[in-house]
A and B are shown apart, each in its own frame.
Chain A
Amino acid sequence: MDTVMAPTLDPQVALAELGEKKPDRVTLVVLSGDMDRVMAAFIIATGAASMGMRVTMFFTFWGLNALRRPGARTRATDGLRRMFGFLNKGGADRLPLSRFHFWGLGTRIMKLVMKQNRMPGVPELMEIAKDLGVKFIACTTTLGLMGITKDTLMDGIDQFAGVSTYLAEAKDAQVNLFI
């Protein structure tokens, strides 16, 4: 007599398979707008993505400067925020060093040394991060607070969101960093 075999499922095997397929996750809060700190954030992000991890970067406060297109004018309507957006210069290539900036000279020398050693700078690292599928989230609250309007930001920002979006990602991640 022919019997139809029911497919058997070993729960332990299924679980092991599931665990193997689920990628590790990393989130980084980028609050700083200093070149060295932002660089460290992108080095960790690109490294993690290369290791097969899923990476989310949440940009807030000064970290938003890395996402701004250099020279783009703010469209903030009220005077104070307009002034703030104007005084706080942005652009991934224009971030100052956290120390030894020396009115631009220190940062310029550091960039020169990096170039001589074929080290990627912030703009290059950002491009690599996007290429590797790193997710960028820009904080809407601080965008408003700092007089930065969306149209002055770079392309390729995946989400404009707030703290709940960040926490929803962070609670399932194994590595959560605040830079």
Chain B
Amino acid sequence: MQKDVMLDTLGLFCPMPIIKTSKKIKELKVGQVLEVISDDEGIKQDMPAWCESTGHEYLGLEEEANGSSIHYKAYVKKTR
């Protein structure tokens, strides 16, 4: 998926990916897409919930096998 900014949260557990996302999104311009990479499975549910609560647009999630772990890539479009 097309992205403008990437945020690496690999190795971090809840609530760090969400906290880092909320800080990073402030650096983006409206309309830009943020890619958040995490290996915490919770992000599959947490990122759509965060988007619903904050009003940013959730574009989807890609899963990528990486050795024994899975890397989740969540895409968020800044709306405001």
Whether A51 contacts B50 in the complex (CB less than 8 A), given A46-B19, A132-B19, comes out as yes
The binding surface of chain B is classed by DSSP as helix
Check A50 against B13 for contact (C-beta < 8 Å): no
| B53 proximal to A (CB < 8 A) | yes
Asked whether A118 is an interface residue with its Cβ less than 8 Å from the other chain, the reply is yes
Instruction: Tell me if B15 is interfacial: C-beta within 8 Å of chain A.
Output: yes
Interface presence of A156 (CB below 8 A): no
| Bound complex: CA A47 to CA B53 (Å) | 11
Contacts of B50 in A (CB 8 A): 50-51
Residue interface bits B1-14, CB-to-A below 8 A is 1, else 0: 00000000001111
Chain B residues in 8 Å Cβ range of A106: none
Whether A119 lies near B13 (C-beta < 8 A) is yes
Complex Cα distance, B19 from A43, in Å, reads 10
| Residues of B contacting A51 in the complex (Cβ-Cβ under 8 angstroms) | 18, 22, 49-50, 53-54
Using known A-B contacts A51-B50, A52-B53, A52-B54, determine if residue A117 contacts B19 with beta carbons closer than 8 Å. Answer: no
Q: Which of B16-41 contact A (CB under 8 A)?
A: 16, 18-19, 21-22
Per-residue A-contact encoding for B60-77, CB less than 8 Å = 1, 0 else = 000000000000000000
A50→B22 CA distance, assembly (Å): 6
Give a binary string over A31-56; 1 marks a CB under 8 Å from any B CB, 0 the rest: 00000000000010011001111000
Contact with B along A18-40 (1 / 0, CB 8 A): 00000010000000000000000
* Nearest-neighbor residue (CB-CB) of A52 within chain B: B54
Q: Give the most central of A43, A50, A52, A132: most B CB within 10 Å.
A: A50
Partner of B18, one of A47, A118, A120: A47
Is the CB–CB distance between A50 and B15 below 8 Å? Answer: yes
Within the complex, the shortest CB–CB distance from A46 to chain B, in Å, comes to 5
Query: Is A50 a contact of B21 with CB atoms below 8 Å?
Result: yes
| Set of chain A residues within 8 Å of B13, measured between Cβ atoms | 117-119
Q: Which residues of B contact A120 (CB under 8 A)?
A: 16
A-B pairs, top 3 by smallest CB distance, nearest first, are: A50-B22, A47-B15, A51-B53
